[in-house]
Amino acid sequence: MTESNVNASRLFLISCIALTVTAMTFAIRAGILGQLGTDFKLSSEELGWINSMAFLGFPLAMMFGGGLYNALGAKKLLVIAFVCHLLGLTLTITASGFWGLFISSLFVGFANGSVEASCNPLIADSYPKKKTAMLNKFHVWFPGGIVIGSLVSKFMTDAGMGWQMQIGIMLLPTVVYGVMTLKEVFPTFEEVTESTATNFKALFSPLFLFMAFCMTLTATSELATGQWINSILGASGASPMIILALITGLMAVGRYFAGPLVHRLNPSGVLFVSAVLTTLGLYSLSIATGGMVYLSAIIFAIGVTYFWPTMIGFVAENIPESGALGMSMIGGAGMFAVSMWNPVIGQWIDEARATAATKLVPGVNPELVAGQEVLSTMVVFPAILIVAFGILYVFMKKQKAQAVVAEAA
């Protein structure tokens, strides 16, 4: 990698702005789901399919970007992200029904995945001695962008501004990171230390396959809950968008100060503790109402804070031969899982509402019952992770002990 004229801190800033746009697309879409359903007369299952395209486009871009990162480099991938963000957001604003929203969501998802495919390896390469810590700092701006997006969505909705204007506001930071990307000098690779063929081979190692499986559960626990928070918690007595801002605000702070925690517990220990807290938080959300929802949300937030960046950092540190492709594919596995679960969760919500409405218990809101029932079902995702990450922690501890013995011999 040539270093002349390359400003690592400025590249980090561009990456953070691009990730903020990515996060805002998740937050604002979550905030306007109800409006989209009303305006276009869409069921929760149909909204789930629209949502799933954003999550499906993400892994498609990460597979494309991860496989071609060695050939294209970070700058070209970020330019692709910029063009797809512009196209996806514009098509969303001009959509006239299900298919318009469906296709535009795919472009937005592809843009979001291209940001991750470009920026994760760029940052890992720029800070080789503190990959997990810097990836956590970079990923501050996913929850940070969701805080910004959820508050913007709430403010604009309360002010009577339509969903088209809420989508349009995201064009501003999109243009900022796009112009900065086009002007900035990015590192070029004089030679590739690990070939793409070597990267692909590493994807089939038992450890990578295990982590990819776990990523499907960590991503679903975090992102599916966030996308459906308006529908699930709308009748809980607490503001869903304030809850989303609270969760993601805590995540941003936690990720910013992740370095000492990762050092003390190591990545596998962090993941195990995260799984326990996420399970407790989701279960608590499934039975809480009123002010207790906020307390439950805090527990959940602490749980999911370190999932995404620590999973990517774990792969970068422990399966380095997978290269940029490994970081892209681990993220792609998570987003692909969310794309598959989104319409299922939408169907769960529709069915739970229908069941609750038929019971008609006096004084009990069927929307509240439906939301709690869906959350209680979703507890199974992080519960499985408690076992999986417990096994990972023991395995990595044994590996470390064996390495120490080998060095001493």
Average pLDDT over residues 228-243: 71
Model confidence at 364, in pLDDT bands (50, 70, 90)?
low
Distance CA 406, CA 409 (A): 5
Cβ contact 167:93 at 8 Å: yes
Q: Percent of the chain at pLDDT above 90?
A: 41
Query: Could you read off the pLDDT of 303-345 as tens digits, one per residue?
Result: 999 998 899 889 988 999 998 889 889 988 998 898 888 788 8
Cα-to-chain-centroid distance, residue 103:
20
* pLDDT higher than threshold 70 for residue 363: no
> How many Å apart are CA 194 and CA 331, to the nearest integer?
20
Instruction: Please report which confidence band the pLDDT of residue 47 belongs to, taking 50, 70 and 90 as the band edges.
Output: confident
DSSP letters along 260-329, please? HHHHHHHHHHHHHHHHHHHHHHHHHHHH--TTHHHHHHHHHHHHHTTHHHHHHHHHHHH-GGGHHHHHHH
* Cα separation, 204 vs 208, whole angstroms: 7
Fold of 8-408: Growth Hormone; Chain: A; (1.20.1250)
pLDDT band for position 356 (50/70/90)? confident
Phi/psi at 364 (5° precision): -115, 125
Band (178; pLDDT cuts 50, 70, 90):
very high
User: pLDDT by residue (tens digit) across 62-114?
Assistant: 888 888 888 889 999 999 999 999 999 999 999 988 999 999 999 999 999 99
Is pLDDT at 1 greater than 60 in this prediction?
no
With vertex at residue 349, the alpha carbon angle to CA 344 and CA 354, rounded to the nearest 5 degrees, is 125
Average pLDDT over residues 336-360: 82
279 Cβ neighbours under 8 A, 6+ residues apart: 303, 379, 382, 383, 385, 386
- Helix (H) or strand (E) holding 359, with range, is helix 323-359
CB atoms within 10 A of CB 197: 7
Query: For the chain, how long is the longest CA-to-CA vector?
Result: 73
Q: What does pTM read for this prediction? A: 0.77
Q: How confident is the model over 279-299, as pLDDT tens digits?
A: 999 999 888 888 888 899 899
Query: Would you say how long the chain is, in residues?
Result: 409
